[in-house]
Structures are given as C-alpha cells and as structure tokens.
Amino acid sequence: MDERQLRQYLEFYQDLGMRDVYRRQTASPVVAASADPPPPPAVQDSFLTPELPLPELLPASDSLPKILEDIGDCKRCRLCEGRSKIVFGAGNPQSRLVFVGEGPGEEEDRQGLPFVGRAGQLLTQMIEGTARREGMKLLRQDVYICNVVKCRPPNNRTPEPDEMEICGQFLARQLRAIAPQAICALGGTAARALLGKKEGVTKLRGNWFKWNEIPVMVTYHPSYLLRAYNQGAKKEAWEDLKAVLHYVYD
C-alpha cells in the first residue's frame, strides 16, 4: 500500500469517527489535505494487517440523500438543543463549485436552508453579479452551498472545535459525494475546518489551497462584508470570486 492509499484509508476511517487510527491534528481539520500536507498519522500496527478486509473508500451508495438520512434527528452535539431545523445544504448536487460557510443563522434555522438571511442575499449578489460581469450564465441555484455545522450555534457564536469535528464528517461526505472542481471557503471557520489553518482570513484570502486534491479558495464571509467598516474588503472578495469562477467555468 503506497502512502497515498494509506492516507485515503486513514481519512476514510476518520470520516467514520474512528479516532484512534490517526494522530489528532491541533486544529482538527475536516480530513484536511492543505498546501502543506500533515505528516502521515501514527498507525496502530494491528489495524492494517493484510487479513483485515478494508471497506470501500467511498461507499458506492453514498449520496447527499444518504448523508441526510444518516444525520437524521441529530443529537451528536449540544447544538441540537437550540436548533429549529437542521440546515443540510442546498443547490445543484452535481455542481462544479461548492461554497462552505460557518453555520446557520437565525433565518437559516427557521427555513432549514443555508444563506437565506442578509448574508445570504449578499452571497447571491456576489455569485450572480460577478458571473454576469464576467460574461457567465450562472445562478445561485447552479452551485451548491452548505456550512461546516448544520445547526445554528446559540447567538450565532463561532462553532466550538468539537462541534466542528463532529459535524465535519458530514461536510466531508458531502464534498466527496459532490466532488466539485473547486471549493470556496467563506471565512475563517470554513478555512479552519477544511484546511486546518490557524491564520486569519485576511492572511489566507485570495490564495488557493487543497482539500483532498480539490482546490480551495478562501475568501471573506459575507457577514464580514456587511459591516460598514469592512467595505474595503468587498473589492478583494469580488476578486477572489472572479478567480474561482474563471477557474471552474472557463
């Protein structure tokens, strides 16, 4: 088994919640494969003996409906206590581009849909406006949009690391099932979850990284852009989005 296969198996087991076959990364990325891949995790010798049949890496039956079914009436972390609806994700399940936000806000929690509040309206404008200006026919419904955590954190606080890790297995499965050409991480939480990066979004934005071989562009979260004192960042966010759209749709 070469290093790539070994890494894939370890990632697969990590998705299944088998924590003791890998060495925990400090930032607990969602099966991260960033620009600087982490060193191979420590493996228990007995786990990878040839006699043990290994499961398929990605079960052929995995799909967005199956993942949603597996989430069920989730009570895996404390975020279930305050939620009204689980916000799984929305858009084209065959999209070449996936946007990943942080977690549902009040309106998303009410409707069960991602990015439908003020930040969502701005995200829609950003996607459709940039596409139009760049001569592309692209609507919000053509891409897929989801979040790191599927339940609204109380008072819209940042999700805790354990919440991100628990829900991250579903995000990882969503991304694997969709297999987009690129991912756009909206804000620092999405960047941390996907890439394990500790740096702030101002440092990371505008750069390409990788999540399991899929290019990831980090940009500002639309909520950040709504604040009056961050208007200067809008131009940068538009540039980031332009780069993503050209990469995926040219």
Name the minimum Å distance from CB 230 to ligand URA: 15
101 belongs to the binding site for ligand URA (CB under 6 A): yes
Least distance in angstroms from the C-beta of 114 to ligand URA: 4
Residue 186 sits at φ, ψ, to 5 deg, of -95, 100
Q: Is 109 among the residues that bind ligand URA (CB under 6 A)? A: no
Q: Which long-range contacts (CB under 8 A, 24 or more apart) does 72-80 make?
A: 74/150, 74/151, 76/166, 76/167, 77/151, 77/162, 77/163, 77/166, 77/167, 78/163, 79/103, 79/149, 79/151, 79/152, 79/153, 79/159, 79/163, 79/167, 80/151
State the amino acid at position 99 in one-letter form: F
Q: Does 103 bind ligand URA (CB under 6 A)?
A: yes
Binding mask 112-151 toward ligand URA (x if CB under 6 A, else -) reads --xx-x-xx--------------------------x----
CA atoms of 153 and 104, how far apart (whole Å): 7
- Compare residues 10 and 218 and give the one whose CB is closer to ligand URA: 218
Q: Which of 104, 153, 168, 180 binds ligand URA (CB under 6 A)?
A: 104
Cβ nearer to ligand URA, comparing 119 with 164: 119
User: Which residues in this chain contact ligand URA in the complex, by CB under 6 A?
Assistant: 101-105, 108, 114-115, 117, 119-120, 147, 223
